Amino acid sequence: MGLQGTFTSGGLGFEVWPGAQVFATWLLEGELGIHVRNKDVLELGAGCGLAGVLTAIFAKSVVMTDGEVALTPTLEQNRSEAKMGAHMASVLQPALVLRWGGETPDLYTPVEADGVLVTGDLDRDRKLHFGSREADELGTYEVIIAADIIYHTGHIATAIVTDIIPRYLKLDGRFFLVIPPERDGSDDFLQAAREAEAQERISMTVERAPRHYIPQQFRDKLDAGVGFRLVTIQRRDK
């Protein structure tokens, strides 16, 4: 299977990142495949969509989203070219734009609102068109997946805990996230998650990815204290 990227446009989402490779191994060789089997899945910050497309092998439905509008055609192309049988075609749903945390450096498409935004359309000036699709229309999911979506500090990192999980993850549903080493914002994200855990809104496990999950080119660089983290969050609150 080949995944398209649009490198001429630049942007962080236009390549497959090592976090997505670790996610793929977690899914295909680890226990993650069991957790997504026959589930309705939402992917955040999908980029080119490797994690979402592979998850569709197991899941009941997968909606790939990204906060960068310019990525939607790439996600759509990869969705339609994921030639792994009729099952995949029916599982992968149309890609959508979902932005959390408001204005985000490195994302080209400007937004004028804070919080969560979901849209299928651009206006005439190629800005996000508010109100074309209400955030709540996206529904709720048994599983949310994400690879390497945290690299800004503060609200952009914590909004995933405070906005996205309560809004889109079903009660008892699970959020699976890969955090690569040395990412800005990962401490803010984990701190917000620990606070939510203390309030019994979620439970969380953070594990070091086994060495064989790590892409070869990174293995030599990882010293004892640094690694890719596999985060699992389960929604607990009512």
Ligand X SMILES: C[S@@+](CC[C@H](N)C(=O)[O-])C[C@H]1O[C@@H](n2cnc3c(N)ncnc32)[C@H](O)[C@@H]1O
Question: Considering the rule CB under 6 A, would residue 188 count as an interface residue with ligand X?
Answer: no
- Build a one-symbol-per-residue string for 119-158: x at contacts with ligand X by CB under 6 A, - elsewhere: ----------------------------xxx------x--
The SS3 of residue 50 is: helix
Tokens read off for 44: 């955040």
CB of 167 to ligand X, least distance (A): 13
The answer to whether 43 and 76 are in contact (CB under 8 A) is no
User: In what order do the strands lie in the sheet containing 202-208?
Assistant: 117-119, 96-99, 61-66, 40-44, 141-147, 169-179, 229-235, 202-208
Question: Considering the rule CB under 6 A, would residue 101 count as an interface residue with ligand X?
Answer: yes
Question: Considering the rule CB under 6 A, would residue 12 count as an interface residue with ligand X?
Answer: yes
| Cα angle 172-178-183, degrees, rounded to a multiple of 5 | 125
Question: Considering the rule CB under 6 A, would residue 20 count as an interface residue with ligand X?
Answer: yes
CB of 194 to ligand X, least distance (A): 21
Which position among 104, 158, 162, 186 is part of the footprint of ligand X (CB under 6 A)?
A: 104
Question: Considering the rule CB under 6 A, would residue 46 count as an interface residue with ligand X?
Answer: yes
Tokens read off for 145: 């997946």
CB of 17 to ligand X, least distance (A): 4
Residues in the interface with ligand X (CB under 6 A) total 24
Which of these segments, 15-23, 80-88, 133-141, 218-226, binds ligand X (CB under 6 A)? 15-23
| Cα angle 91-139-141, degrees, rounded to a multiple of 5 | 60
The residues, ordered by sequence, that sit 6+ positions from 29 with a Cβ below 8 Å of its Cβ are 212, 213
Interface positions with ligand X (CB under 6 A): 12-13, 16-17, 19-20, 45-47, 50-51, 66-68, 71, 99-101, 104, 107, 147-149, 156
